[in-house]
Chain A
Amino acid sequence: MDLLLDINVAVDVCTKRSPFYPDADLALAKCLYEGGRLWPYAGSVQTLEYVTRQELQYQQSVNGPPLSAKQLGRQARDLLKVFTADKHWLAALAGEGDVFDSDDPEDEQLVRALNRFPPGAIKLLTRDQKLLDAHPGKTITPTQYCLLPIGNAALEFVDLKAQQASIRPALAEKIHRVLHHGQYLTTYQF
């Protein structure tokens, strides 16, 4: 099973936010051990950066010594760079833009993004109780995920998923280029 990472869980891990980070750390490691993939949502980059920064600022205000605004920003970006290095960005698609009738457009985007995957292939890893209550079949907390029995990482004879993962950003870019120019037959993009 893959995991789509909600902002709160990513920030728990990046900033070592107590008491949440131990289970979040383990959940991410368990997913990778089972052959799953971890997806931060590309549409949440700005939120991820500034919420991480905000949490670092809060922790500094409690534990000190205080960092300047510029230092906080730098540290947040450095943490996110390392955190996302071994993960797969899930691109935001056009269908996830028209979410303004929703009570929470940001959460609606994540839920819609889940619908691209086959049933049961992915869950949203979150601590957001509102999301957990509204979408119990699509969401899971880090603690609940840690308590699931260990799934076997099936070793595929030809691991197309891993091969695709290594070229995914370039692949997505070329697919979009074809969609934009609309010349499906005359241009060799791949």
Chain B
Amino acid sequence: MRVEALYDHGRLEFIEPLQLRHERLRLIVEVPDAELVSSTPVTHPLPPEVLAQAQAMRDRLDAIRHAPLPPDDEWPELSAKQRERIEAFALREDR
């Protein structure tokens, strides 16, 4: 049987109340990928301070990634040396 539940600070609650035979039982839960901070099955849960620190750095970097960039003509032209390096590094396999 597939039912909908709400996860709230470590507790799962069924949206529609169910009458179950046992007080404790094993369930399989489908978690949306977008909600996962990490795909790692963490056997040693990380402290909230670590999560907060990681999020703070993520926020700082995201702010730069999403910041509007000035128009192209406001930047100095790329030098020939820079263009050569761009072409050279394009050959690397770093993914």
Contacts and interface: CB of A to CB of B under 8 A. Distances in A.
Interface of A: 7-8, 11, 13-17, 19, 22-23, 25-26, 28-30, 32-33, 46-47, 50-51, 53-55, 58, 67-71, 73-75, 78-79, 82-83, 143, 146-150
A53 B94 contact: no
Interface residues of B, number: 40
A118 B76 CA distance: 45
A19 B39 contact: yes
A38 to B, nearest CB: 11
A22 B44 contact: no
A50 B86 contact: yes
The 10 lowest CB-CB distance pairs between A and B, nearest first, are A29-B54, A50-B89, A29-B53, A70-B75, A25-B54, A22-B38, A68-B72, A71-B69, A29-B50, A33-B50
B29 interface: no
Most chain B beta-carbon contacts within 10 A, residue among A16, A29, A53: A29
A32 B65 CA distance: 24
Interface string B64-95: 11010100100111100011011011101011
Contacts of A16: 58, 61-62, 65
A83 B56 CA distance: 12
A50 B87 CA distance: 10
B54 to A, nearest CB: 4
Interface of B: 36-40, 42-44, 46-47, 49-51, 53-55, 57-58, 60-62, 64-65, 67, 69, 72, 75-78, 82-83, 85-86, 88-90, 92, 94-95
